[in-house]
Amino acid sequence: MSKKLLFVYNAKSGKARIKTYLAQIIDIFINAGYRVETYQTQCPMDAGKKIEADGHEFNLIVCSGGDGTLNEVVSGVMKLENSPTIGYIPSGSTNDFGKTIGLYKNMLKSANIAVNGTPMDIDIGQFGADRNFVYIAAFGIFTDVSYQTSQNMKNVLGHQAYIIEGIKSLSTVRAYKMKVEYEGGTFEDEFIYGMISNSESAGGFKGITGKDVILNDGIYEGTFIRKPKSPFELSSIVNSLLAGKNKSDAIYNFKTSKCRIMSEEPVSWVLDGEFGGMKEDVEITNLKSVVKIMTNGNAK
């Protein structure tokens, strides 16, 4: 019996590059011995619905799009009784997670890894009772940039689009009074940004998530930035992060497998670059090694 592959792709992602390479990508899949079914997403959450309905019929599910598309696919796979392995062909503007697992901007190279690479167990985050994230849950400054930036702007300017929108948000910095409970302790402060992550980069910038990031150790890296005492301190914090550093008196860093984040008002969260809901009190848990994703073999 031939192996079956479902290829789910977002045709609008990343300057619509998938349209140029679609036939060649399918050839790579067929030459690897797969019988291929393609599915072009039509709207947000469409990928997850397709996989929930039909994913059990396939040995391998490959997706192409941004990190939000990957989030939908992983969330759909996790609802299946027997989870197929996932392949990923990044085509978005930042693709933080794709870089972490050694995937390429070259879509054909990533397509080859999707069918001939090394499967790796990956931790997935549970956010509250009903949402998941692949590599990051975040709130605050810059985090609304990814889902408020138009697809057209992303396609024309790529990563620069996020920078432009991020600069706009600097003029409206808002702080949230929060209490954070994690396995190593508790802290409280007013925060302008916070993230729980499992990636070597965030927002396209490498190093700001901390060192020694391991994708299947059951541990997340937490980074919270308190309200700056002056515009100068805010500028210093931003410059430090853009330089790939996360060491500052204003930055709380910790590692944990679970945490609870409580605020005095609803806070807008972003999961893998997409809107994740408004939360006053949310628990985040690392689900260790619950999915398999194809990598280049060098990811850790």
Q: Is 265 a catalytic residue?
A: no
End-to-end, the C-alpha distance of the chain in Å comes to 33
Query: Taking the CA atoms of the chain, what radius of gyration do you get in angstroms?
Result: 19
Report how far residue 209's alpha carbon sits from residue 36's, in angstroms, rounded to the nearest whole number: 37
Are 262 and 280 in contact, with CB atoms under 8 Å apart?
yes
Q: Which of 167, 29, 25 lies closest to 106 in space, CA to CA?
A: 25
DSSP bridge partners of 284: 127, 259
Are 103 and 87 in contact, with CB atoms under 8 Å apart?
no
For 106-125, b/e burial (b = at least 16 CB within 10 A) is ebeebbbbbbebeebebbbb
Out of 52, 181, 274, 283, which one is annotated catalytic? 274
One-letter identity of residue 204: G
Residue 28: which residues within 8 A CB-CB, separation 6 or more? 108, 111, 112, 115
Report how far residue 149's alpha carbon sits from residue 140's, in angstroms, rounded to the nearest whole number: 15
Residue 234: which residues within 8 A CB-CB, separation 6 or more? 170, 173, 192, 228
Q: How many helices (H) and strands (E) does the chain have?
A: 9, 15
Report how far residue 8's alpha carbon sits from residue 60's, in angstroms, rounded to the nearest whole number: 11
Tokens of 147: 């889902």
Cite the active site residues. Answer: 274
